[in-house]
């Protein structure tokens, strides 16, 4: 007996083929069963050629307007263009009848994010945000330890995305123009805050410091946030391009034990090197035992204290698998616009706190 034939793949268009589009979105989409990369929008000749060489049959267009003019031929559009374009392009795509994935941050403000959410709801369309760091290996491992009660009651959560990049790279991410929504607070800070909210829920108090450290820099390249959650957990978060000695990636301290881990999830490096999730024989997102974090109490991991905890494999492909399911079944997307708006509300409070040197209260 023949089974039910598989539905045709959902056709995806990507606007923007820089770092986000070419390294993250396109490979993950192409590797997701049920999705096909149909269209890439970029006016850059080199990037156009790269897209054609990597994805057989992909259509390459110059402008978002060309893509939106054939919206009826697509099932999803991914906005991976610079931050300042996220709101206008997401608005145009939703009005054209297309479900949308937007690279983080969704917008510059929570109000803009909520307006996009309302538009998507009015049109009955999916709107999701690519907070892929929820599928980092260390984050997944910590979440499991918390869910299993291994730490007891978590009291403090520390999370760092620190780098040593003393020289400026240039580009819109380092622009001082507020319209560009640049700086580390909204870049890496988006991931840090989203992870903290995912683990510990709403925030009621925000204190932040944001500095411009490097000569010639125009926007924040070194930031610290202290969040108090309604649950009582305190999150201490660091985002920096000027850290000469890197701290632990994650440290969570509870009433029973603490967990600490160093180093970055290997998925981004693999994607940058051209690796493809799902390749036979490749252990996607797996890190060596030497990189495992440790769980314990009263001892320093630097002197061998605590027990090694096998790190769960990182799973960025899970994001687009969940997006495909949401499009086919009407389920909630893996990251909702409302969640993205809450992250922006915390980031706005952090920016205000840093500017005025005070703690900002939030209503949960």
Enter the tokens of residue 280: 């036979």
From CA 27, how far away is CA 282, in angstroms rounded?
A: 15
Whole-model pTM? Answer: 0.94
As annotated, the residues of the chain forming the CATH 3.30.360.10 domain(s) are 134-315+346-361
Residue 137's CB: how many other CB atoms inside 10 A? 24
Q: Which of 350, 29, 67 is nearest to 197 (CA)?
A: 350
Give, for all 364 residues of the chain, the pLDDT tens digit. Answer: 466 778 899 999 999 999 999 999 999 999 999 999 999 999 999 999 999 999 999 999 999 999 999 999 999 999 999 999 999 999 999 999 999 999 999 999 999 999 999 999 999 999 999 999 999 999 999 999 999 999 999 999 999 999 999 988 888 787 877 877 888 999 999 999 999 999 999 999 999 999 999 998 888 899 999 999 999 999 999 999 999 999 999 999 999 999 999 999 999 999 999 999 988 778 899 999 999 999 999 888 777 789 999 999 999 999 999 999 999 999 999 999 999 999 999 999 999 999 999 999 998 7
Q: Provide the b/e sequence for 29-60 (b: ≥16 CB within 10 Å).
A: bbbbebbbbbbbbbeeeebbebbeebbeebbb
Which pLDDT does position 220 carry in this prediction? 86
CA Rg, the chain, in Å? 21
Q: What class has domain 134-315+346-361?
A: alpha beta
The per-residue pLDDT for 1 is 47
pLDDT for residue 216: 87
In the chain, CATH 3.40.50.720 covers 10-130
pLDDT of residue 2: 60
Which class is 10-130 in CATH? Answer: alpha beta
pLDDT number for residue 281: 72
Q: What's the confidence (pLDDT) of residue 182?
A: 81
């Amino acid at each position: 007996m023949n089974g039910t034939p598989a539905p045709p793949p959902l056709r995806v268009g990507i606007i923007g083929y820089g770092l986000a589009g070419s390294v993250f979105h396109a490979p993950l989409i192409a590797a997701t069963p049920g999705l096909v990369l149909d269209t890439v929008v970029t006016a850059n000749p080199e990037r156009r050629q790269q897209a054609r060489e990597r994805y057989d049959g992909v259509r390459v267009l110059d402008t978002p307007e060309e893509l939106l003019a054939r919206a009826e031929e697509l099932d999803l559009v991914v906005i991976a263009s610079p931050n300042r374009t996220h709101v206008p392009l997401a608005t145009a795509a939703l009005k054209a009848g297309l479900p949308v994935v937007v690279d983080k941050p969704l917008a510059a403000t929570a109000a803009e994010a909520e307006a996009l959410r309302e538009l998507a709801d009015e049109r009955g369309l999916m709107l999701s945000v690519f907070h892929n760091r929820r599928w980092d290996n260390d984050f997944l491992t910590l979440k499991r330890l918390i869910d299993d009660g291994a730490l007891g009651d978590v009291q403090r959560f520390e999370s760092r995305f620190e780098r040593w990049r003393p020289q400026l790279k240039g580009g819109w991410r380092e622009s001082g123009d507020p319209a560009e929504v640049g700086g580390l607070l909204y870049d890496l800070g988006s991931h840090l805050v989203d992870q903290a909210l995912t683990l510990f829920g709403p925030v009621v108090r925000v204190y932040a410091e944001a500095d411009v450290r490097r000569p010639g820099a125009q926007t924040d390249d070194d930031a610290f946030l202290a969040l108090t959650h309604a649950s009582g957990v305190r999150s201490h978060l660091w985002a920096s391009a000027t850290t000469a000695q890197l701290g632990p990636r994650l440290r969570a301290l509870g009433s029973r034990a603490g967990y600490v881990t160093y180093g970055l999830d290997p998925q981004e490096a693999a994607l940058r090197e051209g690796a493809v999730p799902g390749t036979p024989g490749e252990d996607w997102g797996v890190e060596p035992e030497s990189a495992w974090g440790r769980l314990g109490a009263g001892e320093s991991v630097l002197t061998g204290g605590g027990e090694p905890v096998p790190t769960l494999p990182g799973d960025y492909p899970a994001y687009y698998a969940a997006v495909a399911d949401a499009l086919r079944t009407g389920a909630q997307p893996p990251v909702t616009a409302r969640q993205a708006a809450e992250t922006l509300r915390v980031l706005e409070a952090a920016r205000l706190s840093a500017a005025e040197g005070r703690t900002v209260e939030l209503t949960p």
